[in-house]
Amino acid sequence: MKRYHVILFMIVIALVIWFVISNSNDEQEQVEEELREEDESLEGVTAFWTFDEGTGTTTVEARSNQEHHIHYVFNNAVDKPNSDPLWKQGISGNALLFDGYSTWVSVDASTLDIPEDAMTIEAWVAPRAFEWGNEGKLSSILSYHNQEENQGIQLGVFRHGAWSFQFGTGEEWLEVWADEEFRLPRNEWSHLVAVFSKERNEAVLYRNGEQAGHLEVPPHTQIALPDQELRIGKNNAPAKISDTFDASMFNGLIDEVTIYQKAIEPAFVKERFAQVGELPDPSVELAWERSRYDGDRHRPQFHFTPPEHWMNEPHAPLYFNGQYHLFYQFNPAGPYWGGIHWGHAVSDDLIHWRDLPIALAPEAGQVDPDGVWSGDSIIDDEGNPALFFTAGNDSMMPNQMTGLARSTFLEDQHPDLENWIKHPEPVTIQEEEIQTEKGTVWHGQFRDPFVFKSGDKWVQLVGSGIKNGEESVGGTALVYTSENLIDWQYEHPLMIGNVLDYPKTGDVWELPVLLPIGENDNGEEKYVFLINPWFDVDSEHAVKYVWYWIGSWDGENYQFIPDNEEPNLLDVGEHFTGPSGMVDGQGRAIVFSIAQDRRTEESRYNAGWAHNAGLPIVLSLRNDHRLGVEPVQEVERLREEHLYALNTPATIEDVNQQIADLSGDMLEIELEIERKAAQKVGIKIRQSPDQKEETLLFYRFDEQTMNVDRERSSLSDHVEKGIQGGKVEFEGDLLRLRVFLDRSMVEAYINGVNSLTTRVYPSRDDSLFLELFSEGESEVKKMNVWRMGSAY
């Protein structure tokens, strides 16, 4: 019996060994077959990047098996949970998303055998946005060139989806451009092929299997190779933005980049394109990613921020079909000004926002090839939303005019209003030599339309200025009227500023806003008129203030009559600018603003974003006939945890003992302090335990001013500091503050009549504490602190 078991065991072992050897042989044959197929697929190939890695900061070139570094701003970020470059689904396997300003691949070209007599470059690309085209340079898909020496090659994209293959012979620089019908679309995959042949004396472009461009080259032409690195996603000689940013960089997905050692044939191009079959939709992969900034301790979380990169003022707020829409000046290329588009977000409550695709982009052959600048929104007489915008066209003088875009809602019923069709012509162009009683309208300063219905006509306000000879008189808003939103007639200035007596109100008024704020004691509807000052020369007052007047609207003569000539400051900090406004479904006059971040260009590069909106505020007419200024009530929906409540009077010392352990950088603080004998009372915020970092918000009763002291707000020498503030008058001795802390954002609302907006960038992680202070006797009547949640 034992011998039988031994024999059976040996038979089983023999079968296992045979099975393993058999499968090993099969696996070996399969590996060898795959290697043969790979060798065959790489036959005639100089270099091939699949971008299939999906993780990490390098990509492998398949022919040489060399790893190449992927540059990305957050590669070494220690405060972000995932700082790899943006890997996405590609045309095959994975692809790399190039963010437009920091992502590119560097390759030692000496490791590649790049031919001079014949070559082909092949790539799959899905652009997300196109650069303006600084210095006339391409946003490179592949760059290996020195144009000054007429050497090398590059394949890249230009304005509005134009694209080109360019190369140097050592003697001259040659370019072949795709025909207009083959411009690259945004948010779609395109298969691009550029072929150069010395033998055929030609350079040919293909898009999606079809010939897109052709250039006949002189006989015996060959490419002169440069002493440069090869780059994917970045030009070898990029245009500069300030001293910090490189332009000429690709923005979108790149996949399957191949350099062939030969000029491939048209049939092979068609075959390569056909192999993919139905093209995938890359829109989800191209969507902006807020999670990219997770861990950034200065990026606000409950104020509106752009999903990525740069924003200027939010504008054109619109309440439609139960939703709030907000548009904003947006540069998709990076965290710097330029190439302005209209970003778009939607909300059910003015607080929690959902990002939508870009609403308006500069387009070739349209009214706005050089930028879609600020404007307004309305609902037309047919019930369809429409946008008015400043159309930028540098080929015209002036380069600013009013454009119109209508929603497709009446056709597609899309609740998010994602689709807009631009009117083919400008609807308002500034005339020359418009005369007023105080001088001539400044030709060339014409922007930021604000549109509303008055009686049976539409009224459009456009920001401008008045000059008397070469001297500035002051800003103005020009009044135009229309019955159909397309044909506009100039009427007169709404009102004219006085820059001599009120120099802080500027030479030109941008972003004019006129809103009803309620009835006075006589039953007359009162209005508030807001402006953003612009200065013709460098000024210490630039980009700091929003001014307003309260007055009456004469609907028959389309005239605003201010109650007083003297302007009023809406926010007494120096970060609240760029007003925009609307009347919502509840009849509230709501205003948005931009909160200037006042950071260095280097800080913005490293952060990857710039600027954000202030909280939406409600403006109203108070019983004392002054302007009421309060955050929208919906902000209370952000309250997550009630951290502290004081409802009976207490001394400042007692309160400080009670809040000693309370900390946070996303807080709402409600505070009421009675003056008694104090001349100065306030609260220290973002304080470190040793008080080496802290920011002081305080009211001076003797001067009636609200102030912020940022001298110790950060230990960093690269952060703007100082003491700012302004006049805030109220009756009585009770100071009522609502303070909102949101990472680097600080907003204080003072007795419902003014606000103070500022920015702080503490360098320490533990600068999170609060402390009340007083110079002289005072008493805390009320205090509440809530921890706030995110708007996203």
Task: Tell me: pLDDT of 386 over 70.
Answer: yes
The pLDDT of residue 36 is 41
Q: What is the pLDDT of residues 233-245, one digit of tens each?
A: 999 999 999 999 9
The pLDDT of residue 14 is 53
Q: Which residue has the higher pLDDT, 4 or 267?
A: 267
Fold of 639-788: Jelly Rolls (2.60.120)
Peptide bond into 282 cis (omega under 30): no
Q: What is the pLDDT of residues 643-656, one digit of tens each?
A: 999 989 999 999 99
Q: What is the pLDDT of residues 536-586, one digit of tens each?
A: 999 999 999 999 999 999 999 999 999 999 999 999 999 999 999 999 999
* Average pLDDT rounded to a whole number, residues 133-154: 97
The pLDDT of residue 13 is 54
Q: What is the pLDDT of residues 285-303, one digit of tens each?
A: 999 999 999 999 999 999 9
* Average pLDDT rounded to a whole number, residues 592-600: 97
- Which amino acid would we find at residue 375? G
The pLDDT of residue 22 is 54
Per-residue confidence band for 18, with pLDDT thresholds at 50, 70 and 90: low
Assess contact for 243 and 601: CB atoms under 8 A.
Answer: yes
The pLDDT of residue 38 is 44
Q: How far apart (Å, rounded) are the C-alpha atoms in residues 126 and 763?
A: 39
Q: Which CATH class is domain 45-286?
A: mainly beta
* Average pLDDT rounded to a whole number, residues 615-627: 97
The pLDDT of residue 35 is 37
CATH topology match: 45-286 vs 639-788:
yes
Q: How far apart (Å, rounded) are the C-alpha atoms in residues 27 and 619?
A: 75
**Where do the structural domains in the chain lie, given as residue ranges?**
1-41, 45-286, 311-631, 639-788
Task: Tell me: pLDDT of 449 over 80.
Answer: yes
Of the candidates 152, 149, 147, 79, the residue with the CA atom closest to the CA atom of residue 112: 152
DSSP 152: E
The pLDDT of residue 78 is 77
The pLDDT of residue 26 is 55
53: region left, alpha or beta (phi > 0 left; psi from -120 to 50 alpha): alpha
Q: What is the pLDDT of residues 34-76, one digit of tens each?
A: 434 444 557 899 999 999 999 999 999 999 999 999 999 999 8
Of the CA atoms within 13 Å of residue 420, those in its CB half-sphere come to: 28
175 phi and psi angles, rounded to 5 deg:
-135, 135
Structure tokens at 65: 């098996």
Partners of 631 in the beta sheet?
617
Largest CA distance in the chain: 123
Quick one: what percent of the chain has pLDDT higher than 90?
Answer: 93
Choose which CATH entry (2.115.10.20, 3.40.50.720, 3.40.366.10, 3.40.50.2300) describes domain 311-631. Answer: 2.115.10.20
Assess contact for 299 and 291: CB atoms under 8 A.
Answer: no
Of the candidates 60, 436, 58, 119, the residue with the CA atom closest to the CA atom of residue 262: 119
The pLDDT of residue 25 is 52
Cα-based angle 486, 512, 596 (whole degrees, multiple of 5): 125
Assess contact for 311 and 334: CB atoms under 8 A.
Answer: no
* Average pLDDT rounded to a whole number, residues 91-113: 97
The pLDDT of residue 506 is 98
Task: Tell me: pLDDT of 82 over 90.
Answer: no
User: Cβ neighbours of residue 592 under 8 Å, at least 6 residues apart?
Assistant: 304, 313, 314, 315, 317, 326, 579, 580, 581, 613, 614, 616
Task: Tell me: pLDDT of 5 over 90.
Answer: no
Task: Tell me: pLDDT of 760 over 80.
Answer: yes
Cα-based angle 440, 445, 449 (whole degrees, multiple of 5): 110
Rg (CA), the chain: 31
Long-range pairs for 355-358: beta carbons < 8 A, 24 or more residues apart? 355/287, 355/288, 355/290, 355/307, 356/416, 356/418, 357/187, 357/283, 357/418, 358/129, 358/330, 358/332
For the chain, the average pLDDT equals: 94
Is the pTM value of this prediction over 0.85? Answer: yes
CB-based burial, 559-576: b 16+ in 10 Å, e otherwise: bbebeeeebbbbbbbbbb
Alpha-carbon distance values, 648 to 120, 458, 782 (Å): 79, 53, 7
Task: Tell me: pLDDT of 107 over 60.
Answer: yes
The DSSP bridge pattern shows strands 400-407 and 385-392 to be: antiparallel
* Average pLDDT rounded to a whole number, residues 79-91: 89
* Average pLDDT rounded to a whole number, residues 367-384: 97
Alpha-carbon distance values, 787 to 193, 443, 781 (Å): 55, 50, 21
The pLDDT of residue 247 is 97
* Average pLDDT rounded to a whole number, residues 762-773: 98
The dihedral through the CA atoms of 411, 417, 418, 424 has a sign that is positive
Task: Tell me: pLDDT of 170 over 90.
Answer: yes
Per-residue confidence band for 79, with pLDDT thresholds at 50, 70 and 90: confident
